[in-house]
Structure 1
Amino acid sequence: MQWLKLKFPFIYLICTVTAAAWANLERDPNGYLTYCPCLGRFGNQADHFLGSLAFAKGLNRTLILPPWVEYRKGEMRSRQVPFNTYFDVDPLKDYHRVILMSDFMWHLADDIWPESERVSFCYIVRQLKRTIKNVRQTQPNNEIKSVFVASDANHMIGELNAALSRMGISVHRLPEDDPYLELAILGQSNQFIGNCISSYSAFVKRERDSNGFPS
């Protein structure tokens, strides 16, 4: 019982300090900005972070710091490592306002960014549009009418059709996934946009490089 008497004040102290820290997380009236650290490994993610930090400062918005994404040998899934595992956050605040994504999601997101209103922007759609426009300008005889998508998860057919409909382009996939047939189609297509961390995309890229095809 004596141990319990000593322990309870310590627990109360931790709870009090934690609650006070949460109370200091006030809403930024200028808004927030974050980024997806999924385009590459640590070097690319660090470069992405630096660019986003400068962008957030330019917009005068608080930067939400997402976890680092680690791809470890022998593991099928990536690991989400909190930003402050490797770097102190407080020195960044001398340059501009930042907040850990975990703090933002736990203590601010429900009011600022309710789940029903959450929409993400996927860069691949903009990159796809840019590639199509470039082909139409440089290769007028190579008119693009359709886009083929290969994926082991979400093909985003509805989203891509909606994004490209104004360009007169339809988006398609195989009725059933067939990685060998998809590999052949992607290897011989006029243009190819791949995922830079995908070994499957790497196979396609090597084949296209050997044939002198653009990627």
Structure 2
Amino acid sequence: MDVSGPANDNKSTFLLPFDTGRFGNQAEHYVGALAFAKTIDRTLVLPPFRTYTNVPLSDWFQIEPFTHFHKVITMEDFMKHFGDTKWPVGERRGYCWLPQNSPNECQMKNGNPFGPFWDGFHIDFDEYIKFGITNQADITNADRMVWLKSEWDQKYPASEHPVIAFRGAPATFPMAAGNRQIQKYFKWNQQLFAKAEDEMARLFRGDKKFVGIHLRTGQDWISTCKHAVDSPSFMASSQCLSRGEKVFQEMCYPTVEDVVKQTTKAVQKYAVGHLYIATDKLSYLQELSEALEPLQVKVHHLDPHLPQMDLMILGQADFFIGNCVSSFTSFVKRERDINGKPSTFWGFPV
């Protein structure tokens, strides 16, 4: 990408690792980081996603669309072209959110994934700074954006803090609802998306109409839902709950009977010939196949090595049913909303 612009201005540049979590959580933090960088008008260094290693953002998404939202540069390009000049060894400071009088130390590299993340770029820190002001932005709240920029300009001016390396992403989880529109700048890597199109062509054999569903059925999700039920807000549940509403069992962990019933309604309503299942554990493939056989609907469960394949395929479905509490579902729902595609959640009307 062109590195002549954003990193050569006189604004501060951010380096930010993601917070711990799976892809969906990291993606929500990415959205929040973009909102924060735009709010205080400083170039955003786009970090890699973290799996068991650092995955460059460009492996999964196109970089150019982000430039239509704000000034960005990938972390790989920043370190290659500007790491020695704008952030030289001996002047690398790490920034941790901690109360100023907190006895806790700013530990930028303590634990996994933080240590391996920075080590992937051969980065050590020479100084640590605790900050207590908020770094969470909502681009639909203009007054707060003005206030937030003023706070950061006053306490951490670009002239004295040219590079701010956060220990965690400057974002909330769950994400601020006003930032959901930033999803439109997440465009899949074209080569990766072509592989998803090949898979769809192979599975659906020219009949492109299908319903996609996302199931969370792992043992960890059973425990999650025990804590979530009757909570007014839990993980990504704000994407389907209004103020005062609470998480209920069917939306978090529907029974196989619930899944079959709601899915059957969806395939009948949208008159599709295929069902695509994405799941972290149990697929209910047999139960759904038996229930949908009289409707001549073919059921598919790819179980790809790369979860992003599921995300891309679910984004193309004629109708989508997801898990409201899941940030994986949230990514699919945001993309579909941007593209005007219909969706719902388990426990909600089709």
Greater helix share, 1 or 2?
1
TM normalised by structure 2 equals 0.28
| Higher RCO (CA-CA < 8 Å; seq separation 6+) | 2
TM normalised by structure 1 equals 0.44
